[in-house]
Amino acid sequence: MTALRWPLKREAALDDSRWIVLDVEASGLDAARDRLLAVAALALRPRGDGRAPAIELGDSFEVVLRQDPAPLDKPNILLHGIGVGAQRAGTDRREGLLALAGWVGRSPLIGFHSAFDEKMIHRAMRDASLPDLPGPWVDLAAVAEVVRPDVRARSLDEWLAAFGIEVAQRHQAAADSLATAELLLRLWPHIVTQRAGAGFRGLTELAAHRRWLKGG
């Protein structure tokens, strides 16, 4: 992969030839207070002509960030599976975040209920005195609600069940990012129907349409 200079300027051109599906694990559900524990992501390659993007398993990223001291929240640890030992032995936080930024580059980002992921990464970058990731984000949950209003689902678990998508281990960032990517592929025919071409701009327009329907 071509090396990228850091920091990237926010006005740098978007790399629409590579999309990133990203998921985080955190010490809790409060994006303003809890700690970012791990990040996992994989790349998608848009293919055009109405075809679904290709999942690039060989172009992926995963890091557990060192926690000192590690949070001793047993229910939370049981949920994400990142034990105290793994947290203490993780990658230096600044180095891990720099590696994430270099790998993401100028690619846009996709997440399920992505506001949480975005806030956690933004705060971690700020606390490490690093610029935020430059690419725009789109929430696949919002896109799914617009293109499949007939599916009565809200959580990722419910959407995965509706499409029969199996996950190796829920609440594990790498498995969840792959499941999110697979959900995008299942939704793709409906996305293309509603947005000709369905590039990343089409996804952002669909997500914005959901906000308009919800009144903000």
- For residue 194, the model assigns a pLDDT of 86
Residue 8, domain member (yes or no): no
| Phi, psi angles (nearest 5°) of residue 63 | -150, 140
Across the chain, which has 216 residues, the per-10-residue mean pLDDT values are 36 82 91 92 91 95 86 55 71 96 96 96 96 93 95 95 87 89 96 78 87 54
Residue 12 lies in a domain: no
pLDDT at 72: 57
Predicted pLDDT of residue 171: 66
Q: In what order do the strands lie in the sheet with 109-111?
A: 54-64, 36-45, 19-26, 109-111, 137-139
Residue 27 falls inside a structural domain: yes
Looking at residue 77, its pLDDT comes to 53
For residue 4, being part of any structural domain is answered with no
Task: Tell whether 7 is covered by a domain.
Answer: no
155 found inside a domain = yes
Closest CA to 143 of 84, 74, 205, 58: 205
Amino acid identity of residue 36, one-letter, is: L
Domain count, the chain: 1
Using only C-alpha atoms, the chain has a radius of gyration, in whole angstroms, of: 17
Q: What is residue 216's predicted lDDT score, i.e. its pLDDT?
A: 46
Region of 177 on the Ramachandran plot (φ > 0 left; ψ -120 to 50 alpha; else beta)? alpha
| CA pair distance 79, 51, nearest whole angstrom | 36
Is there a cis peptide before residue 71, judged by omega within 30 degrees of 0? no
Has residue 176 been placed in a domain?
yes
Question: So what's the pLDDT on residue 12?
Answer: 57
Angle at 135 between CA 67 and CA 11, to 5 degrees: 120
Contacts of 67 (CB under 8 A, 6+ apart): 27, 35, 37, 87, 88, 90
**198 contacts: CB under 8 Å, gap ≥ 6:** 50, 188, 191, 192
- Predicted confidence at residue 187, as pLDDT, reads 96
In a domain, 90, yes or no: yes
Q: Which range of residues forms the domain containing residue 159?
A: 19-213
CATH number assigned to the domain comprising residue 138: 3.30.420.10
**pLDDT score recorded for residue 78:** 44
pTM above 0.75, yes or no: yes
